[in-house]
Amino acid sequence: MSEKKVSEAIEYRRSVRIFDREKEIDVAIVKKCIEHATLAPNSSNLQLWEFYHITSNEEIKKIAKACFNQPAAKTAKQFVIPVVRKDLWKRRIASNVAFIESEFEKSDSKDKKKTKGAISYYQKILPKIYGVGNFKGWINHFSTFFKGLNKVVYRQVKKSDMRVVVHKSTALAAQNFLVSMAGNGYDSCTMEGFDSLRIKKILDLPPAAEISMVIGCGIRTKEGIYGPQFRVPFDEVYFQK
């Protein structure tokens, strides 16, 4: 199976609703596609995500049932489930700081000012953003609004704002996965129709974790592509200033 170029993979990718039950997909290749997912850009490089690769028949049946046994779930050969882990922000900050300090020790230039600024960002600024509660978040919101009347300010300061940020980062990673799968000639279908509490129980996730989406994986069938691809005219969504 020859790999496709990025542009070819993007054009090849479709949401496949029915997978071929007779054709298996390589667990190792899907795992490699998940590795590609983790290379996606993400806010402050916190990587507040986890990816659950479902390969056992027993677990596949459980996940499919939690997805209402819709065709894309019932016929999937494997599942990949991106999970949002905003609750791990302290651990991820520590990982970034450790990496920065390690790179500083290996560097010949020893730019102390740059290194100190980066560590300060992770240890002083990010905790104020990710550690904010609902009440403090709304105080920050109104304070930012008035400050923003006279200068440029960062406005995503509520707890709910940061939840959106982390979900966006996880979605970027999921897109990397989808394109990588297509590049390897494999197919996928992202699903939002699922019982999130049941899936969290199946995956044994903590309460703070959130399911971003469920991705069914397999090989397409002809009937699994529901007609020609439709997109609104490009000039309706493209604006050059």
What was the pLDDT predicted at 143? Answer: 84
Model pLDDT for residues 17-72, shown as the tens digit of each residue: 999 999 999 999 999 999 999 999 999 999 999 999 999 999 999 999 999 999 99
Residue in 188, 185, 145 with CA at minimum distance from that of residue 53: 188
Rounded Cα distance, 86 and 212, in Å: 12
pLDDT tens per residue across span 135-178: 777 888 778 888 888 898 878 878 889 999 999 999 999 999 99
Residue-range domain boundaries for the chain: 6-87+171-223, 89-160
All residues at 6 or more sequence positions from 206 whose CB lies less than 8 Å from its CB, including other chains: 87
Q: Is the pLDDT of residue 2 over 70?
A: no
pLDDT recorded at residue 15: 97
Q: Can you give the pLDDT at residue 163?
A: 94
**What architecture (CATH level 2) is domain 6-87+171-223?**
3-Layer(aba) Sandwich (3.40)
Residues 177-211 have pLDDT tens digits of 999 999 999 999 999 999 999 999 999 999 999 99
Report the chain's mean pLDDT, rounded to a whole number: 94
Confidence of residue 1 (pLDDT cuts 50, 70, 90): low
Residues making up the chain, counted from first to last: 241
Distance of CA 131 to the CA centre of its chain: 21
Half-sphere exposure of 201 (CA within 13 A, CB side): 7
Per residue in 124-138, pLDDT (tens digit) is 999 999 988 777 778
> Any idea of the CA torsion for 21, 23, 24, 29, to the nearest 10 degrees?
-130
Tokens of 138: 């709304």
